[in-house]
Amino acid sequence: EAEVAQSPRYKITEKSQAVAFWCDPISGHATLYWYRQILGQGPELLVQFQDESVVDDSQLPKDRFSAERLKGVDSTLKIQPAELGDSAMYLCASSAWVNTEAFFGQGTRLTVV
Partner 1 sequence: GDSVTQMEGPVTLSEEAFLTINCTYTATGYPSLFWYVQYPGEGLQLLLKATKADDKGSNKGFEATYRKETTSFHLEKGSVQVSDSAVYFCALTTFGNEKLTFGTGTRLTIIP
Binding site for partner 1 (CB under 8 A): 4, 31, 33, 35, 40-45, 48, 56, 91, 93, 95, 98-99, 101-107
Between CA 80 and CA 98 the distance in angstroms is 31
Partnered with residue 50 across adjacent β-strands are: 31, 53
CA 22 to chain centre: 8
- Based on C-alpha coordinates, what's the Rg of the chain? 13
Nearest approach, Cβ of residue 54 and partner 1 (Å): 12
Nearest approach, Cβ of residue 20 and partner 1 (Å): 19
Nearest approach, Cβ of residue 16 and partner 1 (Å): 29
Nearest approach, Cβ of residue 15 and partner 1 (Å): 26
List, in sequence order, the alpha helices (H) in 1-113: none
> Vertex 51, ends 100 and 92: CA angle to 5°?
65
Q: State which residue, 10 or 17, has the beta carbon closest to partner 1.
A: 10
Q: State which residue, 61 or 81, has the beta carbon closest to partner 1.
A: 61
Q: State which residue, 22 or 103, has the beta carbon closest to partner 1.
A: 103
Q: State which residue, 45 or 73, has the beta carbon closest to partner 1.
A: 45
Phi-psi region for residue 46, left (φ > 0), alpha (ψ -120 to 50) or beta?
Answer: alpha
